[in-house]
Amino acid sequence: MYDMIIKGGTVVTAADTVVQDIAISNGKIVALGADLGEATQLIEASGKIITPGGIDSHCHIEQKSSSGLMTADDFYSASRSAAFGGTTTIIPFAAQHKGQSLYDVFDDYHRRATEKSVIDYAYHLIIADPTEAVMGEQLEAMIERGITSFKIYMTYESLKLDDYQILEVLFRARELQSLVMIHAENNDVIRWLTDKLLALGHSQPKYHAISHARIAESEATHRAISLAELLDTPLLIVHVSSAEATAEIRRAQERGLKIYGETCPQYLFLTAEDLDRDGMDGAMFCCSPPPRDQAAQDVIWRGLCNGTFEVFSSDHSPYRFDSSGKLAAGDNPSFDKIANGVPGLEIRLPMLYSAGVGTGRMSLNQFVAVTATNAAKMYGIYPQKGTIAVGSDADIVIWDSQRKVTLSTEMLHDEAGYTPYSGTQVTGWPELVLSRGRTVIANNELQVERGSGAYVHCGLSAYAIPSGKAVSELTPASNFGAKILGANNE
Ligand code: DUC
Ligand code: ZN
Ligand code: ZN
């Protein structure tokens, strides 16, 4: 006798679309097929689409920014919101601030998540202070604790690393077979443009997009790719917004480099014009990199459908539109003083389902790949997560493909207090959400307790394997890098 059988649904994975039953016991998928037998609970799903629960592998939760601002969501509200939108695993950041040991960073975030998350969670590490101690034994200790991916920044004064430090992180990640994620924007370009714009009296939110010029993103993307090539190290460029940065990534991939891309809803559904709303309203759309224009949206869509982008994440970074968040620097702050980020955990899957699958732009299998499976492989949690297979966790979404929803702040479950997508109509919404076989969302209500999510220990990334080429096969640039790595490649 199984715990649950889901009967007759169309089960979609990144590879297949099959009408079959799913049997679940002890939180795992234990059988797939027809006539599986008896179960304590039977769910009739004939005619319904069933996908793996989403994995949101880029979100900022209960994270203090370098200027001391706390995100509006804690692990309870963020995980609840994620679950309502069909996401069953979150991989937010455990963020190091300068001077902090990684042990303290891990303990802080682990305490917050363990007490509150209603769905499963893992972490990436943000490395802001790559001291010898951090890069040595502390980083190895984090891998033992299950953090195998590190985000680094090329901008933000208190987070940015210089090229030398980036090389150090890439070099170490290569040794540890961990995946480096990089925020690629040229800090000095942004700083220079900001100073000039402010000197001319241009302080409104719309100038945020102008100061974070496309060329700041594409130059940094090109430079980051070059540094990764030098050391023959895989690299993920996160939250890509522009056609130019997309082209850099595509070109690197065509040259055989292990360069990966990630994009987010704001680059498919928003433009820089959204930052030019009345008064300070544009502040709600300030994120970095900023949304661009319709032409860029088209390129980002194409990149998502043709594999340039491996993962589609929210970059959920919720700040309320008040003095606790976006307006912390006053009622009328200049654009450079507005907290960066938009909420998006809950709308990520439904918006892509509607505008991607619903319009025929992408197949259901592609949808599953970019919202769940690829992230699971990328961050070392596959096949426990990210697919519907015997032995995998029963993280499952049954969709109501016909449901029409008009997005509004009131119907969402995060604490940002606004949605950038207010008024957008989507077709299709998760109807039943299971996490390890537990019914998390049913009848449009949360069914589980805070703290009932579980920590997921990430293994090594399937994407973080260096080429393994012999030195003689490498390009002159990476030949030099590979040589100093020593015996590995000799
Ligand atoms: N940009 C980031 O780099 N992080 C959080 C939010 C944002 O807009
Ligand atoms: Zn970033
Ligand atoms: Zn981010």
Run means of pLDDT, 10 residues per run, the chain, 490 residues = 98 98 98 97 98 99 91 98 99 97 98 98 98 97 98 97 97 94 98 98 98 98 97 96 98 96 99 97 98 98 98 98 96 97 98 98 98 98 98 98 98 98 98 98 98 97 72 46 48
> What is the predicted pLDDT for the residue at 483?
52
What SS3 class is residue 380?
coil
Task: Evaluate: CB of 71 within 6 angstroms of ligand 1.
Answer: no
In this structure, which residues have their CB less than 5 angstroms from ion ligand 3? Answer: 315
386-438 pLDDT, tens digit per residue, is 999 999 999 999 999 999 999 999 999 999 999 999 999 999 999 999 999 99
> What is the predicted pLDDT for the residue at 487?
39
Ligand 1 atom closest to Cα of 183? 3
Ligand 1 test: best mutation among 59, 315, 326, 338, most atoms within 8 Å of CB?
A: 315
Gap from CA of 291 to ligand 2 centroid (Å): 13
Task: Evaluate: CB of 341 within 6 angstroms of ligand 1.
Answer: yes
> What is the predicted pLDDT for the residue at 468?
61
Ligand 1 atom closest to Cα of 340? 8
Ligand 1 atom closest to Cα of 153? 3
Gap from CA of 310 to ligand 3 centroid (Å): 16
Q: Which of 72, 36, 9, 96 is nearest to 339 (CA)?
A: 72
Protein residue closest via CA to atom 1 of ligand 1: 288
Task: Evaluate: CB of 287 within 6 angstroms of ligand 1.
Answer: yes
> What is the predicted pLDDT for the residue at 66?
77
Gap from CA of 117 to ligand 1 centroid (Å): 22
Task: Evaluate: CB of 315 within 6 angstroms of ligand 1.
Answer: yes
**In this structure, which amino acid lies at residue 330?**
G
User: Residue 68: exposed, middle, or buried by beta-carbon count in 10 A (0-12, 13-18, 19+)?
Assistant: exposed
Helix boundaries (H) for 17-99 = 75-84
Task: Evaluate: CB of 183 within 6 angstroms of ligand 1.
Answer: yes
> What is the predicted pLDDT for the residue at 462?
86
Ligand nearest 317 Cα, by number?
A: 1
> What is the predicted pLDDT for the residue at 67?
80
Determine which helix (DSSP H) or strand (DSSP E) holds 228, and give its type and residue range.
helix 214-230
SS3 content of the chain, % helix, strand, coil (to 5): 35, 25, 40
Ligand 1 atom closest to Cα of 287? 8
Ligand nearest 209 Cα, by number?
A: 1
Distance CA 153, CA 165 (A): 10
Q: Which of 47, 41, 42 is nearest to 11 (CA)?
A: 47
Ligand 1 atom closest to Cα of 60? 5
Gap from CA of 239 to ligand 2 centroid (Å): 7
Distance CA 449, CA 350 (A): 24
Helix boundaries (H) for 59-186 = 75-84, 102-116, 132-133, 139-145, 163-176
Protein residue closest via CA to atom 6 of ligand 1: 341
Protein residue closest via CA to atom 3 of ligand 1: 288
> What is the predicted pLDDT for the residue at 397?
99
Q: Which two tokens stand for residue 122?
A: 């893992």
Distance CA 319, CA 48 (A): 36
> What is the predicted pLDDT for the residue at 78?
98
Helix axes 214-230, 187-199, angle to 10 degrees: 160
Task: Evaluate: CB of 344 within 6 angstroms of ligand 1.
Answer: no
CB 179 within 8 A of CB 173: yes
Q: Which of 329, 452, 376 is nearest to 52 (CA)?
A: 376
Q: What is the DSSP letter of 92?
A: E
Gap from CA of 239 to ligand 3 centroid (Å): 7
In 198-306, the DSSP E strands lie at 235-237, 259-263
**In this structure, which amino acid lies at residue 225?**
I
278-324 pLDDT, tens digit per residue, is 999 999 999 999 999 999 999 999 999 999 999 999 999 999 999 99
Query: Please, what are the domains in the chain?
Result: 53-382+458-464 (3.20.20.140)
Q: Which of 488, 470, 275 is nearest to 479 (CA)?
A: 470
> What is the predicted pLDDT for the residue at 472?
40
Ligand 1 atom closest to Cα of 156? 3
